[in-house]
Structure 1
Amino acid sequence: MAFTAADVKKLREMTNVGMMDCKKALSENDGDMDKAIEWLREKGLAKAAKKSSRIAAEGMAYATVENGVGVVVEVNAETDFASKTPLFVDFVKDIAKVVAADAPADIEALKNCKYPGSELTVGEMIPEKVMVIGENIQIRRFARFPENFSVAYVHAGGKIGVLVNLEVSGGIDATVIGKDIAMQIAALNPRFWDKSQVSEDVLAEEKKILVAQMDNDEKMASKPLQVKEKIAAGKMNKFFEENCLLQQAFVKDGSVTVEQYMNSAAKALGGSVKFVDAVRFEKGEGIEKKADDFAAEVAAAAGLAK
């Protein structure tokens, strides 16, 4: 399978590994992105990488709590300029209000809901907004938490929207705790909320990677497989610490985990808090954008030619 300069660039962004190593990884694995990531990890060059690309698209990710209902939405536009206009921002906030109030099952159901302050539906309002803003607008996704205690956080004016859902006891106000957890999620984007969510397949894959890394280490290569597997099993706590929210070091105080911070902060307020769920939307996450500079890509490809 052939690969392009764009593929090498994408792999570099996903793994934070140098260009030449990324090119070699793709060459060794016939251009297969997932296998190239695994190859880099086995060589000890890359940590766990998300397999979904994160090519930016414009628009806004927004989270809010309306009448006790937590909502997070993503609405896309064509340019950063349009997505920052008051008209677009107000439209996104109105969509969040509709989701909170009407509990639509999906995007199509949402489009059939009445738009706030209008006789039009959301679907009928979209072309009205398109005419005024002058760009295509798409409601991409939403999530809603009607139960428990929700806390919303919006990072960088709509680059990331996070909604955290907590079970709170003791009549305490857990807003600060929820916001701290949401900020942690926005910053580190954990793969799992808790180590109990990590499947056996994922654990087996991680242990396989760790054993392969030892195979490529001069000091460890000669050790028996049984010993390597035992060492790999012992290192899984580090995987949990890096990939699971509640086991991660708390950003504001690295001496405690997020779970320890949450429990101690709630106790200090005279109650208790249990993490239930969360949603993190990043603007443009996974959306492929058309390459704007084909000539530059061709030049880059030529520069990377064997």
Structure 2
Amino acid sequence: MITAAMVKELREKTGAGMMDCKKALSECDGDMEKSIDWLREKGIAKAAKKSDRIAAEGLTRSAVEGNTGVVFEVNSETDFVAKNEQFLGLLDTVQTLLVSNKPADVDAALACATAEGTLTDTITNATATIGEKISLRRIAVVEKADDEFFGSYVHMGGKISALVTLKGKADEKVAKDIAMQVASMAPQYVSRDEMPADVVEHERKVQTEIVKNDEKLANKPEKVLAGIIEGKISKNLKDLCLVEQEFFLNPDQKVGQYLKENGVEVVSFVRYAVGEGIEKREDNFAEEVMSQAFGG
């Protein structure tokens, strides 16, 4: 008797679809190893070979529906797959699931129900069909208050996505401008108030050493040196803070000034860039082409 647990195990081992696994187990009288071979021989077990590959390409997306905003990243192995219709369809599925289910994290998102079972099943099937490792890397689900508004921006078709939550005089242009600022200038915090004390302290230690070793400052009073150090800290940390950055549409103006002029303040933001933080494998392209040409 072929059980659901057997089908699940075979799916996890091969990445093949549920019906294919069921058929393989039936054909092989429930023998797991023979079923794996059967799927491989039929060219169905594609996903298993992909599990150890590095998926550092793909797309991000930012979307808003009512009081819910979502940002997520789905990775693939190559940039070509990002243009694949099935891959783009998968992003639509993920977006719909995140907005409607509001999962707390990636694991919760992967457990959400889809037409193929769960989102994990849908991704596994996409991996098997497309022939590349595909994975949902990270998600952010943001709920705003009724007196807040969203700004969303997707750059280069999904290479970078940003979602900002703002408060004050609702203005679509301001919202988009700030989302574009976040996407292009990659701040880490809204303001210095949000910055962890250890980040500031680390910078203070670095700048103190620099000043201590600067012969030109050797005879300056302690009070003057302290002022110089604080100035250097502010200069080096300002680009990490959104409100202290130069506004990309007007470098003579700080983002904070632009926000103040428009009666708006930033509550929070999320920015995802494809593959950031993933160590990409360096492939020898010539070797790869030869390998494919000669079936290596």
- TM-score of the pair, normalised by structure 1: 0.68
For 2:196, give the aligned amino acid.
Answer: S
Secondary structure of 2:59's counterpart equals strand
Q: Label 1:287 to 1:238 Cα distance change in 2 as closer, same or farther (>3 A).
A: same
The answer for unaligned runs of 5 or more in structure 1 is: 1-54, 266-271, 295-306
Q: Which residue of 1 aligns with 2:246?
A: 249
Equivalent of 1:190 in 182, 187, 190: 187
Equivalent of 1:290 in 276, 281, 290: 281
The answer to whether the 8 A contact 1:240-1:248 is kept is no
The answer to whether the 8 A contact 1:152-1:162 is kept is yes
Q: Which runs of structure 2 are paired with 1:77-156 in the superposition (5 Å)?
A: 77-115=76-114, 118=115, 120-147=117-144, 148-156=148-156
The answer to whether the 8 A contact 2:55-2:78 is kept is no
Higher Rg of the two aligned structures: 2
For 2:158, give the aligned amino acid.
Answer: G
Q: Which runs of structure 2 are paired with 1:7-18 in the superposition (5 Å)?
A: none
Q: Which residue of 2 aligns with 1:166?
A: 166
Q: Which residue of 2 aligns with 1:41?
A: none
Q: Which runs of structure 2 are paired with 1:209-288 in the superposition (5 Å)?
A: 209-223=206-220, 227-265=224-262, 272-288=263-279
Distance apart, 1:60 and its partner CA: 0.7
The answer to whether the 8 A contact 1:194-1:244 is kept is yes
For 2:162, give the aligned amino acid.
Answer: V
CA distance in 1, matches of 2:87, 2:218: 58
For 1:280, give the aligned amino acid.
Answer: R
Equivalent of 1:178 in 158, 175, 178: 175
Total equivalences in the alignment: 229
Q: Which residue of 2 aligns with 1:22?
A: none
The answer to whether the 8 A contact 2:116-2:122 is kept is no
CA distance in 2, matches of 1:66, 1:137: 26
The answer to whether the 8 A contact 2:55-2:77 is kept is no
CA distance in 1, matches of 2:116, 2:136: 19
The answer for unaligned runs of 5 or more in structure 2 is: 1-53, 286-296
Q: Label 1:67 to 1:191 Cα distance change in 2 as closer, same or farther (>3 A).
A: closer
CA distance in 2, matches of 1:251, 1:238: 18
For 1:150, give the aligned amino acid.
Answer: F
Distance apart, 1:249 and its partner CA: 1.6
For 1:101, give the aligned amino acid.
Answer: S
CA distance in 1, matches of 2:59, 2:231: 42
Secondary structure of 1:219's counterpart equals helix
For 2:258, give the aligned amino acid.
Answer: Y
Distance apart, 1:224 and its partner CA: 5.3
Q: Label 1:134 to 1:92 Cα distance change in 2 as closer, same or farther (>3 A).
A: same
For 2:241, give the aligned amino acid.
Answer: C
CA distance in 2, matches of 1:152, 1:87: 24
Q: Choose between structure 1 and 2 for higher RCO, CA contacts under 8 A separated by at least 6 residues.
A: 1
CA distance in 2, matches of 1:293, 1:221: 53
The answer to whether the 8 A contact 2:58-2:77 is kept is yes
For 1:183, give the aligned amino acid.
Answer: M
- TM-score of the pair, normalised by structure 2: 0.70
For 1:286, give the aligned amino acid.
Answer: G
Distance apart, 1:256 and its partner CA: 2.0
Q: Which residue of 2 aligns with 1:44?
A: none
Distance apart, 1:129 and its partner CA: 1.2
Distance apart, 1:119 and its partner CA: 5.3
Q: Identity over aligned residues, as a percent?
A: 38
Q: Which residue of 2 aligns with 1:39?
A: none
The answer to whether the 8 A contact 1:149-1:165 is kept is yes
CA distance in 1, matches of 2:150, 2:224: 46
